[in-house]
Structure 1
């Protein structure tokens, strides 16, 4: 199994839970501006991203919570590589409505929120 991306959570913004309730997770590399850090899960990359994006169907894991990627926006992987930033919509959509975003299968918002802790891994494998 290939690992496309592996990162560790460093901090969880104060407003992240509100977005998680709506199925949205925003990742931003540690050092994000304060106004973005409030709504983001800050992280430090341990490996990746790979030069090629993962395929639809690859697994995204946030701690113990697992989902399948259902769509990958045209610019999403480049944004991850350039800024460590991406929005993940856990809505199961087969089409990404925004070019810089990922879509994944729906997950339980409470479980996802509970998984967002400093030190927790976020990985994309396939």
Structure 2
């Protein structure tokens, strides 16, 4: 029997005006709420409560309203994702179905529409434990 552990947990504090345009291209850009103002327009801003680790392939990203979030399996993770997330609260989620990240900052999930984040939504990364 396995249990899941939360390695990153945060709440969405704001959604930039350009986020829907990025969603149309299968991308969600997250930054901590302390990001420079010039990044706010393109970003889903958040304030983290748990920052144990970044995502690994096989982890699950949980995003959306607390009572009905969507679950996205992580397929691939670029080489700088962990440091970017833990140091800057930055993550690029791409719904491209890749099993190898194209760019060092990419987190790849299944191809298809991504959830539209809203202020107050959860964003969590969970990992199955044996």
Do the structures match in fold with TM over 0.5? yes
- Flag structure 2 segments of 5+ consecutive residues without an equivalent: none
- Distance of 1:106 and 1:61 partners within structure 2: 16
**For 1:20, what is the secondary structure of its paired residue?**
helix
**For 1:117, what is the secondary structure of its paired residue?**
coil
- 1:93-108 to structure 2, matched below 5 A, reads 93-108=98-113
Q: Is 2:63 the partner of 1:58?
A: no
Cα drift, residue 58 of structure 1 = 1.0
Cα drift, residue 84 of structure 1 = 0.6
- Flag structure 1 segments of 5+ consecutive residues without an equivalent: none
Larger Rg: 1 or 2? 2
**Equivalent residues, number:** 120
CA RMSD of aligned residues (A): 1.3
- Distance of 2:62 and 2:49 partners within structure 1: 15
Aligned residue for 1:44? 47
- Distance of 1:55 and 1:77 partners within structure 2: 9
Higher helix content, 1 or 2: 1
Q: Which runs of 4+ in 1 moved over 2 A?
A: 106-109
